[in-house]
Homo-oligomer: A and B are copies of this chain.
Amino acid sequence: MPSDHALLVRAVLDEYGELASRGMSRYLEGLRFPELAGLLADYPSRGGRLLRASLCIASARAFGASVREAIQSAISLELMHNAFLVHDDVEDESEERRGRPALHVLHGVPIAINAGDGLAVMSLEPLIHNRLILGPRLAFRVFGEAQRMACEAIEGQTLELKWRDENHVELRAEDYLRMVLKKTCWYTTIYPCRVGALIGSRDTLELDHFVRFGFFLGAAFQIQDDLLNLTGDHRRYGKELLGDIREGKRTLMLIHLLRVAPDAIRRRLRQLLALPRRERGDEQVRWIRRVMDENGSIDYARQTANALAGAAAFEFKGAFARAGASRDRDFIEALPYWMLERA
């Protein structure tokens, strides 16, 4: 039976997610260019939980804004998220996304790169409309936050690609957490809280208070997501299981394994990771999965995600101290617990 916080989180995700989803559709249907419209609408139309939009709206409301004041920023963020997904899938040679073939598998790499660019450009349109709702000064502050967020995401992606392409095998948990701070946390959790608070408080709060909460929450989320790639249910997960291992992605589990495994296993691992993706066969992928289990790497990552979620629950109190009691505040407070439960 789902817990109380799981029920609350689901109810809010359903409600705000629906608003953001309809908003995205409106922008994409507004494209006068039929050749592009279908391509851009593909990933957004496949669903997704719209966590980022919901967190942005909830944070804004918790600090006193209306849905109307927050929705454009939430829509923009989800469009940007879909832009990242399209390019990530090309860069990682992923085969599936949300239960269907990845965009580049359907249309080829050139069209997919261009479609990702198109989604990124579309994500700016709601930020332009913010001007009419928030006034030019506050709308510009949101635009600045969005630019910073995109910059962080690209820096994080740079690190992750570099580690994989240059076959780094001496990484530490600290390296991983720095990469995840940039690649995942900033746009998934930190930015939605910051922009929500910015809009809700009309720029009277210190936004850096949200970095620690968002970092702990986002890192727990990413580790949990990577665990689901190893242990999840394909139908619910929507991506090829064990795809991260095949890709050579530097997950916390792989980084742990590369540090603690006996020498013979480490040597074998380094050789396998040095291969191009398509030369890591099913058997080798399953072997890596098995030695992760045998060397406690899965347990280690699970414990780390737990500890991070606990730290997020603690940081919540400080970050949202000035938000009065509300369902939106309760939703945000419940997120660390919900994150660990989604399996």
Contacts and interface: CB of A to CB of B under 8 A. Distances in A.
A147 interface: yes
A161 B114 contact: yes
A164 to B, nearest CB: 8
B114 A158 contact: yes
A106 to B, nearest CB: 12
A8 interface: no
Copies of this chain assembled into the complex: 2
Contacts of A125: 147
Contact of A128 (B90, B114, B131, B147): B147
A26 to B, nearest CB: 16
Interface stretch (A136-144, A217-225, A238-246, A258-266): A136-144
Contacts of A124: 143, 147, 150
A2 interface: no
Contacts of A161: 110-111, 114
Q: Is the interface of A mostly helix, strand, loop or mixed?
A: helix
Interface in A114-143: 114, 116-118, 120-122, 124-125, 128, 131, 136-137, 139-140, 143
Interface string A181-219: 000000000000000000000000000000000000000
B118 A35 contact: no
A108 interface: yes
A310 B113 CA distance: 36
Contact of A114 (B35, B87, B111): B87
Interface in A80-126: 87, 90-92, 108-111, 113-114, 116-118, 120-122, 124-125
A155 interface: yes
A102 to B, nearest CB: 14
A91 B113 contact: yes
Contacts of A157: 114, 117
A14 interface: no
Interface string A153-184: 01101110110010000000000000000000
A36 interface: yes
A159 B114 CA distance: 11
Given A121-B147, A136-B137, A139-B140, A33 B158 contact: yes
A25 B248 CA distance: 35
A127 to B, nearest CB: 8
Contact of A113 (B35, B113, B131, B144): B113
Given A33-B155, A122-B151, 4 more contacts: A35-B155, A108-B165, A109-B109, A120-B120
